[in-house]
Amino acid sequence: MRRKDRQVTNRSKIQEIIASCDCCRLGIQDNAGIYVVPMSFGYESLQGVDTFYFHSANTGRKIDLLRQNPRVGFEMDTHYQLKTAATPCGYSAQFQSIIGTGTVSFLEDIMEKRQALSIIMRHYTEKFDWEFSEERLQSVCVFRLTADTLSCKEHK
């Protein structure tokens, strides 16, 4: 990162920033280029590895592409605030953001899916012990993104 003064390396601060993001944008590879798709997500640090969970319908462009190529980029950001000034070049913005890369794997095991959906729900509600019907668990597509790079930047 060119602006080292804006780089966040403290793990608990990074996790705090992830917790306050609402949306994760996945950059998925496609023969035509890159397909960027916004998604709700859940997060956990799994044995120190940054791990994100997503749910979706079983069909559609992103799922078809992910099944062909599970390597993705991702981005999320929070606390955007415009800082105004007298001149255009004086304008700036506060933000906190995360950028990374990783590999997607699809969860097939019902217990794993339940756990992942609970992690997604916890991200938005802070409640973990939700009920999911067997039918829903069978039909929903749930996937995990295991990050292999992750950087965090904060502009105060």
Ligand X SMILES: Cc1cc2nc3c(=O)[nH]c(=O)nc-3n(C[C@H](O)[C@H](O)[C@H](O)COP(=O)(O)OP(=O)(O)OC[C@H]3O[C@@H](n4cnc5c(N)ncnc54)[C@H](O)[C@@H]3O)c2cc1C
Binding interface with ligand X (CB under 6 A):
23, 37-40, 54-56, 60-62
Give the span between the Cα atoms of 119 and 16, in whole angstroms.
15
For ligand X, the closer CB: 120 or 147: 120
In whole angstroms, how close is the CB of 65 to ligand X at the nearest point? 8
For ligand X, the closer CB: 11 or 61: 61
Give the span between the Cα atoms of 79 and 16, in whole angstroms.
12
In whole angstroms, how close is the CB of 148 to ligand X at the nearest point? 22
Tokens of 3: 């602006």
Residue of minimal CB distance from ligand X? Answer: 60
- Which amino acid, one-letter code, is at 72? V
Give the span between the Cα atoms of 56 and 46, in whole angstroms.
22
In whole angstroms, how close is the CB of 84 to ligand X at the nearest point? 27
For ligand X, the closer CB: 56 or 146: 56
Q: Is there a contact between 118 and 127 (Cβ–Cβ < 8 Å)?
A: no
76: three-class secondary structure by DSSP:
strand
In whole angstroms, how close is the CB of 40 to ligand X at the nearest point? 3
Q: Is there a contact between 91 and 85 (Cβ–Cβ < 8 Å)?
A: yes
For ligand X, the closer CB: 39 or 147: 39
